[in-house]
Structure 1
Amino acid sequence: MPLHVPPAPAPALRSVLTALGSPTAVREAPTPALRVHQGPLRPERPLPVHVLDDVSRRGTPRTRLTGWRFLIRGGEHALATADAMLTPDGWAFSHFGEGPYVSAIERALHQAESVPTAYQPRLLSVPELYMLTLWLHEDITADGAEGCPAAGDLLVPLAPAPPGIAAHRPHRVAELLSRLTLRLTPASLLGSPA
């Protein structure tokens, strides 16, 4: 089933295109793949990036939008990411990124396209665990910049995932959040033996 990718804000896309068109920005980026690539680079598959705040808190998870991430394609594969963030003056280019999450995002998106249910893809960061997930939101008509994980949503931890969490294995929201909450709860609160 095709994924329903929400459109990125036009100013966010323009900021990334401007950065890609700047020889200085690309040359000074900490991404060797962009610096050595010969040929055109293009931003694709924009995903809103949400942060899960205080995962150990009981109740409905709270998220906040922190930006939009684009896969930067050069040829057939994604080489890097480019992030745009909201500033008081509007959307602005933030940075280029490289590393294992580039291929992990691409792999998770391909996996999600083979699922029979339609989803809206987003990224969900869990800073407390240095974890990034592909968030497959069940409401494909929702504004990609808003909302919280719903019961019917799937979370797919990206590689590298924290120890004990399998990368690229889809989880229902409640299942993964309960596992994350347990990982972050101090042993003294769990009734450790005396």
Structure 2
Amino acid sequence: MHLHVPPAPAPALRSVLAALASPTAVREAPIPSLRGAQGPVTPELPLPVHVLDRIAPAGAAITRLAGWRFLLRRGGHAVAAAETMLTPDGWAFSHFFEGPYVASTERALRQAETMAQPHQARLLSVPELYMLTLWLHGDRDADGATGQPAATDLLVPLAPAPPGIAAHRPHSVADLLPVLTLRVTRAATMLGSPAPA
């Protein structure tokens, strides 16, 4: 298999397992697929979630690690996801969620498994555009929690993608980043805030 999923920190996984074992956490989650689960739900395919903080003057994407996301699988497919966050005391469970990004992530991962080049799977969030991408990093053995997108890395926009950007179509960072830069700059201008520098 050419797609590598980096291992999540053990405390992040333990926090998700503890939340799944907690009747209160599951009952209070607004996720019908978890509350009415028939059979075990297991956290799989941990992906580091990086957030696009800014775009440097030279055009490089500057990101930061925001958490780890686990797909929650039952019966061979993802029914929801769990996210963890870094706190002063270490990794902790944040929340469960469902919605289109769960199925879209699973689809993009299957798509990436068929690619000829080896990649490491990560997620890249662009909050200003309400956009999430599967980030296929070219160094499959790198630390998934660190590093910045390389020009040759691939970004696969997840559905729903912003208008004019096709979901599930791989783009090199070099091709997609200028489009994102323009859109983020426009969004910042429309909101009256300075564009990310």
TM-score norm. by structure 1 comes to: 0.93
In the alignment, is the contact (CA less than 8 A) between 2:54 and 2:63 conserved in 1?
A: no
Aligned to 2:127: 127
Shift of 1:2: 2.9
Aligned to 1:111: 111
Shift of 1:55: 4.3
For residues 6-45 of structure 1, the C-alpha deviation after alignment (integer angstroms, 9 at most, x for no partner) is 1000000000000001111111101111111111110000
In the alignment, is the contact (CA less than 8 A) between 2:119 and 2:136 conserved in 1?
A: yes
Aligned to 1:152: 152
Mapped partners of 1:58, 1:36: distance in 2? 50
Shift of 1:157: 0.2
1:34-73 matches, within 5 Å, as 34-55=34-55, 58-73=58-73
Shift of 1:151: 1.6
Show structure 2 runs of 5+ residues with no match. Answer: 190-197
Shift of 1:186: 3.6
Aligned to 1:173: 173
Q: Pick closer, same or farther for the CA change 1:68–1:36 going to 2, 3 Å.
A: same
In the alignment, is the contact (CA less than 8 A) between 2:125 and 2:133 conserved in 1?
A: yes
Mapped partners of 2:58, 2:32: distance in 1? 42
Shift of 1:57: 5.5
Shift of 1:96: 0.3
Q: Secondary structure at the match of 1:54?
A: strand
Q: Secondary structure at the match of 1:151?
A: coil
The code of the aligned residue for 2:181 comes to T
Shift of 1:58: 4.8
The code of the aligned residue for 1:37 comes to A
1:15-30 matches, within 5 Å, as 15-30=15-30
Mapped partners of 2:166, 2:57: distance in 1? 23
For residues 113-166 of structure 1, the C-alpha deviation after alignment (integer angstroms, 9 at most, x for no partner) is 000111000000000100000000000111000000002200000000000100
In the alignment, is the contact (CA less than 8 A) between 1:26 and 1:35 conserved in 2?
A: yes
Aligned to 1:136: 136
Mapped partners of 1:87, 1:172: distance in 2? 33
Q: Secondary structure at the match of 2:4?
A: coil
Shift of 1:184: 2.8
Identity score, percent: 73
In the alignment, is the contact (CA less than 8 A) between 1:8 and 1:46 conserved in 2?
A: yes
In the alignment, is the contact (CA less than 8 A) between 2:152 and 2:174 conserved in 1?
A: no
Q: Secondary structure at the match of 1:106?
A: helix
* 4+ residue runs over 3 A deviation: 55-58
Mapped partners of 2:76, 2:140: distance in 1? 27
The alignment covers a number of residue pairs equal to: 188
